[in-house]
Amino acid sequence: MESNQSPFTAKLVESLYVEAMVLADEARAFFELGPDEQGLSPSDEIRIDMSCESLRVTTRLMHSIAWLLNQKAFFAGELSEHQLRSRSRSLGKCSTSDAFIVARLPAEAQRLVQETQHLLERLVRLERSLEAERLGFAEAQAMHPMVHQMQARLANELA
């Protein structure tokens, strides 16, 4: 991967990594609060859903952070491209949250669920784009103006 031809740079990875770490810190701080501090009563049935969602949020963050750390290691010369592209270093799959359940959660929990889902979705798109680039599809896609515009917009959004 030649960084001068790709919008994927060490700076972008660092920006996404910082975003993921801030989200992880916010999630930790919120989910370690007691139910009353989270806006729930001790008998509230949503507490089980809250526990499940906290695990989903944590899983999404850990997948995201691990993937970003691998990207950082690649840019630092600590991993070869072959090592980076191994299946064990891919994002993997994370379960998505049920919108009905999320809507019942306190506002801060909803925000954390949505932001971690959005981060992971962006990383999945980025990983797919990098794989397509590696396989040689990037040149064909770049010929189409709409694809080029969408790639530029995504690069700006992620920067």
Residue 5 pLDDT greater than 70, yes or no: no
pLDDT at 148 (0 to 100) = 66
Per-residue pLDDT reduced to its tens digit, 26-73: 999 999 988 888 877 766 678 888 889 999 999 999 999 999 999 999
CATH of the domain at 53: 1.10.8.930
Is residue 140's pLDDT more than 90?
no
* 56 within a domain of the structure (yes/no): yes
Task: Report the number of distinct structural domains present in the chain.
Answer: 1
Asked if residue 130 is part of any domain, the answer here is: yes
> CA end-to-end span of the chain, whole Å?
19
pTM here is 0.76
Q: Which domain holds residue 135?
A: 10-158
Query: Could you give the CA distance from residue 130 to residue 1 in angstroms, rounded to a whole number?
Result: 8
In a domain, 93, yes or no: yes
Reported as a pLDDT band with limits 50, 70 and 90, residue 3 is very low
